[in-house]
Amino acid sequence: MRKKIMIANVLFLSAVFTISMTGKHSLTDDWAVPEKYTKMKNPYAEAKDSEQIGKRLYAVHCKSCHGTKGLGDGSKAAELKTKMPDFTATEFKSQTDGVLYYKTYIGKDEMPAFDKKISEAEDQWLLVNYIKSL
């Protein structure tokens, strides 16, 4: 029994050391979102994106870092100091639409702001809807 506990401790410490050596932090670490955004309602939550605007915007602006399926494994992800979140994870999906809107359009650190690149409100929300669908 002691041997199993010792092995478990060694594995745990190895994992902690490996993570600390990568120097990566999660995009969700210490990201304070103003209350007005946490309570913000998505006016396009039920919108049908027949033209696939959200998907196209994702391909242009998000895919290179966040990956095709939102797993955080895009071609540029390894170059960043920030660990890309998994958009399919329960923790990510539990964020409100307003929080996702804020993080996408205001940005922080290596996450650029897209408020100027995607200026149409409907397009911004259709992107949030697409990200949530991954």
Strand spans (E) along 68-131 = 82-83
C-alpha dihedral sign at 81, 116, 72, 45? positive
pTM for the model: 0.76
Give the pLDDT confidence of 60-109 residue by residue, as tens digits.
Answer: 999 999 999 999 999 999 999 988 999 999 999 999 999 999 999 999 98
Nearest CA to 56 among 107, 126, 110, 134?
126
Instruction: Spell out the domains of the chain, with CATH numbers in brackets.
Output: 25-133 (1.10.760.10)
Q: Are 24 and 109 in contact (CB under 8 A)?
A: no
Residues 12-33 have pLDDT tens digits of 444 444 344 344 444 445 789 9
- Rounded to whole angstroms, the Cα distance separating 124 from 118 reads 6
